Amino acid sequence: MSIVETIMQYIGAALILGGSVFCVIGAIGVIRLPDFYSRCHAAGVTDSAGAAGVLFGLCFMSAPLIAFKLITILAFLWLSSSVATHALVQAAYARGVRVENPRVKDWTHGQETSAKKEGEA
Amino acid sequence: MIETNSIALVFFAFLLVIGVAVTVQRNLFAASMLTGIFSLVSAALFTLMDAVDVAFTEAAVGAGFSTVLFLATLALTKDTEKPGVKRPFAATFVVLLTGGALIYGTLDMPAWGTSEAPIHAHTASYFVTHSITDIGLPNIVTSVLASYRGYDTFGELLVVFTAGTGVTLLMQRKGLFRPGALAIPPKSRAPYVREMPVVRAVAKTMLPFILLFALYVQAHGDFGPGGGFQAGVIFATGFVLYGLIWGPAKLQPIIGGRPVQGLMASGVLLYGGVGVFCLLMGYPFLDYSALTPDHPVHGQHYGIFLVELGVGITVSAVMLIIYFVFSVRPRVGRGAGELGP
Amino acid sequence: MMVFAAAMATGALHVVYAIAVGALVLTMALVLYRAVSGPTVYDRIVALNAFGTKTVLLIAALGFLYGRPEWLDLAITYVLINFVGTLAVMRFSKHGSLTREAGDDTSDSGGRDVNVATAAVPTGDNAR
Amino acid sequence: MTQAAHLWHYWLIIVLGMLGLWVVIAKRHYVKKLLGLSIFQVSVIMFYVSMGKVEGGTAPVYLPGEDGGVDLTAAYSNPLPHVLMLTAIVVGVATTALGLALVVRIREAYGTSEEDEIAAADRAEEDELHRQELAEEAL
Amino acid sequence: MTLSDHLPVLLVLTPLLGAPIVSLFRSISRPLATLLAAATAAIAWGLVQQTADGSELNYHLGGWAPPIGIEYEISMAAAWTVAVVSTLAFFSILAGCHNAAREVTEGREHLYYAAFLLCLAGLLGMATTGDAFNVFVFLEISSLSTYTLVAMGKGRRSFTAAFNYLILGTIGGTFILLGIGLAFQATGSLNIDDIAARIQDLRGSRTVLVAFGFLATGLSIKLAVFPLHQWLPGAYAESPTAVGAFLAGTATKVIYFQLIRVCVMLFGASYVFEELHFGTLLRWLSVFGMFVGSLAAVYQTSLKRLLAFSSIGQVGYLTLALSLGSELGVRAGLLHLAAHGITKCALFLVTGAIVATTGSDRLSRLAGFGKRRPLIAFAFVVGGIGLIGVPGTAGFVSKWALLRAAFESGHTIIAVLSLASSMIAVVYVWRVVEVMYLKPSVETDSADGSRPWALMVPASILLAVSIGAGLYSAPATAYASRAASTLWNRVPVAAGLPEPRPVHHDDAHDAAAEHGAHESAAPEGQAGPEEGSTP
């Protein structure tokens, strides 16, 4: 095994472990954060940083074809999960789901009526 | 093995939690989503148990298509369940009896995973040892599926066809497939058109790749997990995505009515036609050696390719039709006792 | 260096995959808790979506752990299914129960009989 | 007790399946019944698949061998249950689709998808018919 | 191989491939479906003729020998069953031709006929296959199409009937799947003969016991054996006339044949009846079923429901014959399978004709029907007499065989009880006769513009067959005796693994050359029609 491969494996291992850590952190966020929108953010961390870490890390360990598939998965994942979250948040907002975090000004409250109207249109 | 077992144990715990959640959840939208996740986790468990083809199918069908159907149904029916159960003690008794009998039956089964179990000793050993020379494909599952037990698969295709026929009979309204039958009145345009532009753009980008991936799965089934059935479902899923975002009225001119119904039958006829061709050549039904009598192995390859194609065509057509007739069904008002067509 | 490389190639790499799998399983467990407990349907959907994507990563990692990484096709399917599933939830719940839970974040209004305003039928006139 | 160490996979699967069966029998809402049915079916599929697992084996797709051929010495899991279960999955989804189509029609015809309400509606209809017949006979 | 060698598979293929073809040609779907059903029936009778000497036809699908591949195995009993089933299917479809137009929404008859043919194909495939899992596959084809067909009935209750049938039927099917799986686990084979031979050494195994339990329970659900019969009345009574006639005549009969095979062939009669004493359990369930079904039939107010409950009672006779655990019992079972199938199919068709003239199948609407429509009423009486088992009808032949079998196995009480339940049959048939002939006509028929003759012609032919077989029963009884004895005395042989096909040594290289594959040292597998990309 050449030095280059070894270094690649180290980088890969580091990325995988880093991605795993991001996943767990994000998951804790999904549990602990107070309202829907901030939980969305936490879930997003697992889907972006977590997924990227794990999948890029695996890329470093694998043959070109496998790496290509991994990149494809990552591309699909990034596109689909971010879009799904976006659509979901928009729907939730239109339905008047509130921000619960007391330290942030609840600006949904003021616009609730117009949001409701839009949602029913 | 300890690794496998511990991961399996965690998966089982997930499945139990999800199962209980499905049972107690009275919001049926949530219950359907949880069932989808149940399928996804069980598919992961199948992978762990080396059943990659089964996992592929379960993910595409159980987690994907079934869930979409459940949701589409719930959009048409009442979506919360009334509290309370029917005959809880009788049900529990039946379930305990059945489960007890099954557990009693496992007591004489060989330990999980032993390679000496009789199930591995007899026919399976033949498939593992000889399918490479008999048929010559790396994926043993495909060899068994399409050739050794090709008739079962033919039956399976007919099951799909039956479902397609049945759902169409039950749900299709007259003139549904006529062009313009689904013209959207301007007032109710909102639900589709108002859909977020970002979603639309991304879906449009992904669509060709999904269809391409389906073709890849179709062709690659001989070499790895995949095959006609999985490809058919994924192909249909691409169109389902299109229908979800642009609405069935936009989907209808693309898939057409009669053409899809024709495809539904033609996949079955392609599969059966290959068999009948063998029969006419003087070989038994579905003996693909008849395709190239000089080189039986080549015949097997051609035969498997053709029948997998037939499976793919019928499955995608049936899935599309089923989704389509569900999604265009108008929602009935609450308590309306009117009859259907 | 070569010694390390040998270690990486045999045992350590395996351990890395195992840790990744463990972390992903932990993530799934936590997210599943959110999916089961709610409180709003939107929370469930987000959690289930995240659960699905973690399954994708898990399948990929498992493939490497067991030395058959060519199973990645499976993971691609999972991504697609997950995306379509989430969109389907949103599309079909447009007039459904999602509105119902949004109002009260405290409980599932499961059994409550709330009148769903019969919103415009999307494909109106083929009914007749 | 030694058996528990070897058979717990099967037993957990059986518990899952029985959960599904319980939902089918005890729940009243038709969609819920179908959800339970699909859980039951998935468990049966799992039961088959786990019978096919060989310890230390790998998926039944040939590994490349030493001499450019395939590796026949490796332990492969049993492909036969997998093939059977592909069919069973298809049967499951076909049943689900048909069942859901029926649920939609039932809902349209009765205005509900709860079993007891439908039974009550049927009984009321039957009673009404009977009453009419009695009235006719009396005439 | 000549065409007649292919008859076993052609029998199933004709309706199976006929269904998609029928669904494509909507304008000629009606005559096409009738033609296909007729062809199927002809093939089935050809098989009866081929097996008449007690031989067994084997057909290896895909060219793979039994334990590896799927085998069609047509014994005399199987040929008997498929002949009855396909003939009844032909007559039902002939009758349904007329009625489909009214009962199925316009523009969809072609799909209706496709479902009909699929149902037939599923039943035939189940009866002829020699592979346990293949039984499940074809069971599901027939079940799924049955659910659809039942839901085609007139009122909204047909939907609930179909749904209940779907739920119970799927549970039954899944139980059967579990049973097959456990037997597969114990023996490693899926071929019925092979399992049967291997299971003889595993008699003490708890797995085998539970496998039998699940197979028997699953089949009992599908067969509507007494405590598991809830789906049957709705499914038969709410479905369209032709479907009701077809199901009543065939569906339970094929399942019954499967139960015979499971008890006698798969697990071995000595295991099932002597070790497990399954016969005792089944016998009492049958007796209960006979009484419950017949008594419930007495209290029905609609004709179709009356016939449906009578079917539950008749299933009791069928299982009673099997539960005797003797060759004579199987013979009686085979005879009753045919006799009841023909009679019940005819009765449902006559009921269809009654509905077509009066507009309802309520008993109260039949007052004075005997004077208004003497021929239809007479046909019903003839059918009812067959149902009771009066001498001179096919029903008598089979019930006599059953009584003889019961006496010979020493079950005198059972024989007396079955006679007693026949007396209840007299009561419910008499109720109809009383209403039709003795009550004054209260109203004129609500003419709904349909001609009952399309239904009456096939029904009369079937009734004539029933009377003919009752008067001249020798060929049928002789065939059934022989079929029962071959089935009963069959010794299963464990199938060894076949030799693999000879390898063409240059296959891989040829293929590589032909398809331009670059890796000359590629594994043989990669030389497929599409180029491989295995990493």
Residues C37-91: tens digit of each pLDDT: 877 778 888 888 888 889 888 888 888 888 777 778 888 888 888 888 888 887 7
Cβ–Cβ below 8 Å for B34 and C123: no
The partner residue sitting opposite B31, judged by closest CB among D20, D28, D35, is D35
* E324-340 residue pLDDT tens: 888 899 999 999 999 99
Closest CA to B181 of B331, B69, B333, B328: B328
Going by C-beta distance under 8 Å and a sequence separation of 6 or more, which residues neighbour residue E449? none
Hey, of D95, D103, D136, which one would you mutate to test binding to chain E, going by the most E CBs within 10 A of its CB? D95
Residue ranges of the alpha helices (H) in chain B? Answer: 2-24, 28-48, 52-57, 67-76, 88-106, 118-121, 123-134, 140-143, 150-171, 190-193, 197-220, 228-246, 248-255, 258-280, 296-328
Half-sphere exposure of D62 (CA within 13 A, CB side): 32
pLDDT at C114 over 60: no
Q: What integer pLDDT is reported at residue C119 of this predicted model?
A: 31
Residue type, D77: S
CB-count burial class (<10 Å; 0-12, 13-18, 19+) for E517: middle
Phi, then psi, of C124 in degrees rounded to 5: -40, -60
Residue B247, Ramachandran bin (φ over 0: left; ψ between -120 and 50: alpha; else beta):
left
Chain D: closest CA distance from residue E105 (Å): 14
Candidates E493, E496, E530; CA nearest to E511 is E530
pLDDT band at C100 (very low <50, low <70, confident <90, very high): very low
What's the CA gap between C54 and B10, in Å, rounded?
A: 14
C-beta of residue E208 within 8 angstroms of C-beta of residue E248: no
User: CB-based contacts of C106: which residues, under 8 Å, 6+ apart?
Assistant: C39
| In the predicted structure, residue B135 carries a pLDDT above the cut 70 | yes
| CB-CB neighbours of E81 under 10 Å | 30
Q: Do D91 and E173 count as a contact with CB atoms less than 8 A apart?
A: yes
Nearest to D45 among B54, B128, B326 (CB): B54
Angstrom distance (rounded) from CA C31 to CA C46: 9
Is any Cβ of chain E less than 8 angstroms from the Cβ of A66?
Answer: yes
What ipTM goes with this model? 0.88
- Token output for C35: 């999916």
- List, as ranges, residues 33-62 from E with C-beta within 8 Å of B: 59-62
E191 — phi, psi (to 5°)?
-75, 135
Interface of C with A in 63-122 (CB under 8 A): 64, 69-70, 72-73, 75-76, 79-80, 82-83, 86-87, 90, 98-99, 102-103, 105, 119
CA–CA dist E470, E396 (Å, integer): 7
**3-state SS assignment for residue E500:** coil
Q: Is the dihedral of CA D55, D56, D59, D65 positive or negative?
A: negative
Chains C and B contact (Cβ–Cβ under 8 Å for 3 or more pairs): yes
Residue E374: the pLDDT is 83
- Residues of chain E below pLDDT 50: 506-535
| Contact status of B78 with chain D (Cβ, < 8 Å) | yes
The residue type of C118 is T
B193 touches chain D (CB under 8 A): no
Q: Say if residues A42 and A26 touch (Cβ distance below 8 Å).
A: yes
Interface contact A76-C24, CB threshold 8 A: no
Q: Which residue of B has its CA nearest to E498?
A: B126
Residue E155: how many other CB atoms lie within 10 Å: 13
Spell out the SS3 assignment of E216-261.
HHHHHHHHCCHHHCCHHHHHHHHCCHHHHHHHHHHHHHHHHHHHHH
Contact of A101 with chain B, judged by CB distance below 8 Å, is answered with: no
Cβ of B279 within 8 Å of Cβ of E9? The answer is yes
The distance of A11 to chain C (nearest Cα, Å) reads 12
Of the candidates E396, E101, E106, E373, the one whose C-alpha atom is nearest the C-alpha of residue E242 is: E101
In chain A, the residue whose alpha carbon lies closest to the alpha carbon of B191 is A121
Across B78-101, b (16+ Cβ under 10 Å) vs e yields bbbbbeeeeeeeebeebbeebbeb
* Token pair for B323: 């989704």
Q: What is the sign of the dihedral through the CA atoms of E25, E28, E30 and E32?
A: negative
Is residue B205 very low, low, confident or very high in pLDDT (cuts 50, 70, 90)?
A: confident
Phi and psi torsions of B241, nearest 5°:
-55, -45
Whether A62 has its CB under 8 Å from any CB of chain E: the answer is no
Chain D positions touching E184 (Cβ under 8 A) are 51, 81
Residues of C in contact with A97 (CB under 8 A): 40, 42, 102, 105
Token pair 């007391």 is found at A102
Q: E528 vs B305: CB contact, 8 Å cut-off?
A: yes
B residues 254-313 lying closer than 8 A (beta carbon) to C? none
- What is d(CA E521, CA E501) in angstroms, rounded to the nearest whole number? 22
pLDDT over 90, % of chain A = 7
* CB within 8 Å: D12 and B141: no
How far is it, in rounded angstroms, from Cα E144 to Cα D80?
25
- Interface touch D59/C67, C-beta < 8 Å: no
* Distance between B331 CA and the closest CA of chain A, angstroms: 17
Amino acid symbol at E278: F
Residue A33: CB atoms within 10 Å: 18
Cβ contacts of D58 within 8 Å, gap of 6 or more: B50, C66, C67, C68, D74, D75, D76, D77
Q: Which residues of A touch E533 (CB under 8 A)?
A: 65
Interface of D with E in 27-46 (CB under 8 A): 30, 33, 37, 40-41, 44
Which residues 158-197 in chain B show a CB within 8 A of chain A? 190, 194, 196
Average pLDDT over residues B104-122: 83
CA D121 to chain centre: 28
Q: How far is D63 from chain C (nearest CA, A)?
A: 9
Cβ contact D–C (≥3 pairs, < 8 Å): yes
Do C125 and B183 count as a contact with CB atoms less than 8 A apart?
yes
Q: What is the DSSP letter of A1?
A: -
Report which residue type is found at A30.
Answer: V
**Confidence at residue E133, expressed as pLDDT on a 0 to 100 scale:** 93
Please judge whether E529 and B305 are an interchain contact, meaning their C-beta atoms are less than 8 angstroms apart: yes
| E3 CA: distance to closest CA in chain A (Å) | 50
Q: What is the pLDDT of residue D39?
A: 94
3-state secondary structure B47-67: HHCCCHHHHHHHHHHHHHHHH
Q: Per residue in B218-244, is it b (16+ CB within 10 Å) or e — as a string?
A: bbbbbbbbbbbbbbbbbbbbbbbbbbb
In angstroms, what CA-CA distances link C11 with B57, C18, C25, D58, E359?
Answer: 33, 11, 21, 19, 80
- pLDDT tens-digit map of B15-68: 999 999 999 888 888 888 889 889 989 998 998 888 889 999 998 888 889 999
Widest pairwise Cα distance in chain E = 92
C12 pLDDT more than 80: no
Residues in chain D within 8 Å Cβ distance of C71: 59
Interchain proximity C71–B226, CB inside 8 Å:
no
B326 touches chain D (CB under 8 A): yes
Going by C-alpha positions, the residue among E189, E195, E337, E192 that lies closest to residue E256 is E337
Q: Please check whether residue B118 is in contact with residue E187, taking contact to mean a CB–CB distance below 8 angstroms.
A: yes
Chain A residues touching C72 at Cβ < 8 A: 66, 69-70, 73
Using the CB atoms, write b or e for C2-28: b if 16+ within 10 Å: eeebeebeeebbeebbebbbbbbbbbb
What integer pLDDT is reported at residue A116 of this predicted model?
41
Q: Are strands E70-74 and E57-61 parallel, antiparallel or unpaired?
A: antiparallel
pLDDT of residue C42: 82
Collect all residues of chain D within an 8 Å Cβ-Cβ radius of residue B163: 93-95, 97-98
**Facing residue for E160 by CB, picked from D65, D70, D118:** D118
DSSP string, E85-135: HHHHHHHHHHHHHHHHHHHS-TT-HHHHHHHHHHHHHHHHHHHHB-BHHHH
Give the gap in angstroms from C-alpha B284 to the nearest C-alpha of chain D: 22
- Chain B partners within 8 Å of D105 (Cβ): 170-171, 340
**What is the identity of the amino acid at B105?**
G
How many whole angstroms separate alpha carbon C51 and alpha carbon E234? 43
How many angstroms separate the CA atoms of B126 and E133, rounded?
18
Give 10-residue mean pLDDT values along chain A (121 residues): 80 89 90 85 87 88 84 88 84 71 57 42 35
* Cross-chain CB nearest to B26 (options C88, C108, C125): C108
Residues 6+ apart with CB under 8 A from A105: none
Mean per-residue pLDDT, C28-35: 89
Pick from C25, C80, C85: CB nearest B7: C25
User: What does R_g of chain A's alpha carbons equal in angstroms?
Assistant: 19
Judge if the upstream peptide bond of residue E227 is cis by omega within 30 degrees of 0.
no
E534: closest chain A residue by CA: A65
Closest-CA distance of chain E to residue B116, Å: 11
- Exposure of A59 in the CB half-sphere (CA atoms within 13 A): 16
A-C Cβ pairs (cutoff 8 Å, strict): 172
How near does any CA of chain A get to the CA of E242, in Å? 49
> What's C107's DSSP letter?
S
Q: In this complex, which of D68, D95, D137 lies closest to E521 when CB atoms are compared?
A: D68
Check CB contact under 8 Å for B40 and C55.
Answer: yes
CB contact under 8 A, D82 and B76: no
